[in-house]
Structure 1
Amino acid sequence: MDPYSRRVAFLKVMLPLAALAILATLFLLSRSQDVSTKIPFAETDLSTRMRDQQVTKPFFSGTTAKGEEIIVTADSARPGGADTPGRAVNLTARIKLTDGRQINLKSDTGTLNPLKDAATFIGNVRIDSTTGLVVLTDTLNAALSGIEADTPGTVTAKGPIGDLTAGKMQITSKNEDGNVHMLFKNGVKLIYVPKQSER
């Protein structure tokens, strides 16, 4: 028998034996593992999640008919019922307009009701845009399918032209030019701050 044939005959015996040894080792190692390892959650956290049916890091996104992108996220949320909207903690939204500008919304809590096309931002509501305008209010009602929002109460704002207070604010794209506008209403007061170059 030539050396090549001897080598082939040797490998025909050794390779299956090596495969058996590897399989046996795998089974032995798997039996030595502790299968009673617990999921890394505290019992109180698990019971709260089960009771409240809490969802962690929910995410909602969509595009309007005009092409604006709306992204809504939260730290956690609980689903609502037939008559009650879902509730969210640390609710945020980002609206990317077709012209490249962006509007960001943020609040402590909020509610979401996709069936009624509604979101409500509640508590320390902050609205800022890439134009430099920052608006603060207590509550903001917004649509999920389009760029429509309004505040039922007073707002304060800071921007490139100065400080502003108003009884109400509306964000809308329902106007002649179709662009998104922030409209301030009901007793608007503006403290004009000239730019440094104008002084």
Structure 2
Amino acid sequence: MARPDNLHSRLVSWLKILLPLVALVMLSTLFLVSRTIDPSDAIPYSEVDIEDRVREPRITAPTYAGITSDGAALTVDAAEVRPGAEGSPDGSALALQAELDTPDGASTRLVAERGALDQAARLLRLEGGVQISTSTGYRLTTDALSAALDVTDVQSPGALAGTTPMGQITAGSMRITQDATAAGGYVIVFGNRVRLIYEPQN
């Protein structure tokens, strides 16, 4: 076999021998100087009390979204939801926020400290200082409120107070629903000893 007679050929021949040797030395060094793993240094993935979660199961930061039969979009967020009694589809929630966007372009925002889902009645029940705000300028507060999941129907069976575009209002009940006299429209109806203090705009 003829010997290489130029610098390039000789260099290639030496590199074919040296490069594999260098690779073997590097791999051996990795294993020889590798740090011993201490299991106690493992990163804690969660600080959640597993026993507490097993004893009281819950869902953190859930979101519900749906469309009612009349075309309104309903979105509900909560900080935490806990299931109801064993075998029950219902559940209780904390720090609820709901947004109802009706087809006429208006929106209603509901905020409550706690609530519950009643699957049988298809209702979301809100309690604990429920705040109601609408894109049309209503800002109201009540103790309890219910919102249907399958149709636009928000009701406050108890007393409420707040402000409207016309002034301050107090009433014994309130309902947000479709307008029976105008197709595609929605109304806020107050009842039971309604008192409005009219405040005209300057």
* TM-score of Structure 1 vs Structure 2, range by shorter chain: 0.7 to 0.9
Paired AA for residue 84 in structure 2:
G
Q: Cα gap change, 1:7/1:140 in structure 2, threshold over 3 Å: closer, same or farther? A: farther
Which of 166, 183, 187 aligns to 2:193? It is 187
Q: Which residue of 2 aligns with 1:121?
A: 126
CA distance in 1 between partners of 2:28 and 2:107 (Å): 57
CA distance in 2 between partners of 1:79 and 1:146 (Å): 24
Q: Equivalent residues in 2 for 1:36-51 (5 A)?
A: 36-41=42-47, 43=49, 46-51=50-55
Q: Which residue of 2 aligns with 1:99?
A: 104
1:44-67 Cα distance to aligned partner (Å, 9 max, x none): xx4332221011101111122443
Which of 146, 150, 153 aligns to 2:151? It is 146
Is 1:56 matched up with 2:65? no
Greater gyration radius? 2
Deviation, 1:160, is: 1.6
Paired AA for residue 168 in structure 1:
S
Structural RMSD (CA) = 3.2
Paired AA for residue 98 in structure 1:
P
CA distance in 1 between partners of 2:93 and 2:35 (Å): 42
Q: Cα gap change, 1:181/1:41 in structure 2, threshold over 3 Å: closer, same or farther? A: same
1:105-128 Cα distance to aligned partner (Å, 9 max, x none): 011100013454211000100010
SS in structure 2 of the partner of residue 141 of structure 1? strand
Identity of aligned residues (%): 26
TM, length-normalised to structure 1:
0.80
Deviation, 1:164, is: 0.9
Q: Which runs of 4+ in 1 moved over 6 A?
A: none
SS in structure 1 of the partner of residue 150 of structure 2? coil
CA contact (8 A) 2:103 2:184 kept: no
CA contact (8 A) 2:101 2:108 kept: yes
TM, length-normalised to structure 2:
0.79
Q: Equivalent residues in 2 for 1:1-199 (5 A)?
A: 1=4, 3=8, 7=12, 10=15, 14=19, 18=23, 21=26, 25=30, 32=37, 34=39, 36-41=42-47, 43=49, 46-81=50-85, 82-83=87-88, 85-173=90-178, 175-176=180-181, 177-196=183-202
CA distance in 2 between partners of 1:124 and 1:26 (Å): 64
List runs of 5+ in structure 2 lacking aligned partners: none
List runs of 5+ in structure 1 lacking aligned partners: none
Paired AA for residue 151 in structure 2:
G
CA distance in 2 between partners of 1:12 and 1:174 (Å): 89
